[in-house]
Amino acid sequence: MTAGVRERARLALRTEIAQAISIVFAERGFDELTVEEAAGEVGISRATFFRYFGSKEDAVLAAIEASSIDYAAHLETLPTVDGENPFQLLHRAFKHALSQRDEHSEPERSRVRMINATVSLRTRMAQRRFAHEDALTPVLAARIASPDAARTVIVAGLAALDLAWRRWAAGDEPTVAVALDHVFAQLSSANSAAVQSL
């Protein structure tokens, strides 16, 4: 019991440090700050930082994991809507998931901008996208008439979701949900135009 409490306390502290240090990186520049400088900003030593994280990237990813969205769970629990195509279903699942987020958080917006501007962080986020892809594909396959198309729809849908996050972070849209509506509308419009031209 004591070990469990101790481990939960350690994980809580790790998350707290990750959240604080990711804000520092976003404000001061991920590539510009050393681990020692960033650690000092949040009141810990370099040694303490490396007790919890293997790299700066690990710290940022830990902050993201702490508020990660389980898109597959949201998709699984959505009620069926007659006549809805797979892209519409996925769009609705993403919006449902995002409805529980604070989309006016400036630290979150800064963190997304930092990730988009940093190659090493973008690479790590791409690995997370593969995990979302693997989790979402079987759930979508079980809900659509053409299960073989599920992975293709998921890959395109996750790319649309990523673009929505980037547009929101850049200040082009007031919320991620609004950006998502615009991106999926453009996807639908482009698809309709392609079908009409055939």
Q: Which of 44, 64, 84 is the C-terminal boundary of a domain?
A: 64
Hey, what are 162's tokens?
């990523």
pTM to 2 decimal places: 0.84
Output the tens digit of pLDDT for each of the chain's 198 residues: 456 888 888 889 999 999 999 999 999 999 999 999 999 999 999 999 999 999 999 999 998 887 788 999 999 999 989 999 999 999 999 999 988 776 667 888 898 999 999 999 999 988 889 999 999 999 999 999 999 999 999 999 999 999 999 999 998 898 899 999 999 999 887 766 544 544
Query: What is the model's pLDDT at position 7?
Result: 87
Q: Domain residues for 105?
A: 69-197
Query: What is the model's pLDDT at position 103?
Result: 62
Q: Are residues 48 and 16 in the same domain?
A: yes
Q: What is the CATH number of the domain that holds 29?
A: 1.10.10
Query: What is the model's pLDDT at position 3?
Result: 60
Q: Are residues 97 and 40 in the same domain?
A: no
Q: Are residues 26 and 84 in the same domain?
A: no
Q: Are residues 28 and 114 in the same domain?
A: no
Integer-rounded Cα radius of gyration of the chain: 19
Query: What is the model's pLDDT at position 198?
Result: 45
Q: Are residues 93 and 133 in the same domain?
A: yes
Q: Are residues 59 and 74 in the same domain?
A: no
CA distance 182 to 188: 10
CA distance 97 to 103: 12
> Measured between alpha carbons, how far is residue 158 from residues 82, 132, 143, 153 in Å?
23, 8, 17, 9
Q: Which of 64, 89, 105 is the C-terminal boundary of a domain?
A: 64
Q: Are residues 36 and 84 in the same domain?
A: no
Q: What is the CATH number of the domain that holds 83?
A: 1.10.357.10
Looking at the structure of the chain, the number of domains it has is 2
Q: Are residues 112 and 41 in the same domain?
A: no
User: What are 60-112's pLDDT values in tens digits?
Assistant: 999 888 778 899 999 999 998 999 999 999 999 999 998 877 666 788 889 89
Q: Are residues 41 and 100 in the same domain?
A: no
Q: Are residues 153 and 179 in the same domain?
A: yes
Q: Which of 19, 38, 64 is the C-terminal boundary of a domain?
A: 64
Q: Are residues 99 and 191 in the same domain?
A: yes
Sole residue written with tokens 């031209």: 197
